[in-house]
Amino acid sequence: MIQRIQSIFLVLAAGLGIAALFLPLSHFYEGFQLPVDVAKLTKDYPFMLAGGLLKVAALISLIGIFLYKNRKHQINVVRIAQLLLVVLIGFAIYMFYPYEGLKDTSKIVANAQQYVTKYWACWMPLAMLLFNALAIRFIKKDDRLVRSSDRLR
């Protein structure tokens, strides 16, 4: 049913994904304007791709709520959202982490502190991943409960 705990976790995951796109501290997407400026597009494509992955993962988490009648299908859909979030996190680490010139550990710590404080919305995909994992756990628990009650009949 929709009022189960896994639905709350999926709503939280979708809400975090949507909120991360609109928070001013997030830099997943800096904007897209028409007419298309090719130089700006090549500069902003990492932001657009990260924002697109985040939107799709949030949408899939939201769709997963309404698949409560078929729990196996619901688990598979939420796992697809998790896969997209892992790809997003890997892509964000690859594209947004400045690898060059960071041989000094004090610079690495300063960069890490900047991302924790200034760009705190970048951590929302990790929270979404956690909420999706909790939703899968409770969907499986619900499935075991239904199967055990079917055996008693």
The answer to whether residues 69 and 111 touch, using CB atoms and an 8 Å cutoff, is: no
> How many domains would you assign to the chain?
1
Alpha helices in the chain (DSSP H): 5-22, 38-65, 71-96, 105-117, 124-152
pLDDT at residue 123 in the model: 77
Q: What is the pLDDT of residues 117-136, one digit of tens each?
A: 666 667 788 899 999 999 99
- Using only the alpha carbons of the chain, give its radius of gyration: 19
Q: Hey, what are 120's tokens?
A: 């705190």
Q: What is the pLDDT of residues 14-36, one digit of tens each?
A: 998 888 777 654 444 444 444 44
pLDDT at residue 26 in the model: 47
Residue 44 has pLDDT above 90, yes or no: no
Domain span including residue 92: 5-152
Distance separating alpha carbons of residues 64 and 70, to the nearest angstrom: 10
Query: What's the predicted TM-score (pTM) here?
Result: 0.74
pLDDT at residue 128 in the model: 92
Least confident of 17-26, 37-46, 73-82, 107-116: 37-46
The better pLDDT of the pair 48, 124 is held by 124
Residue 80 confidence class, pLDDT cut points 50, 70, 90: very high
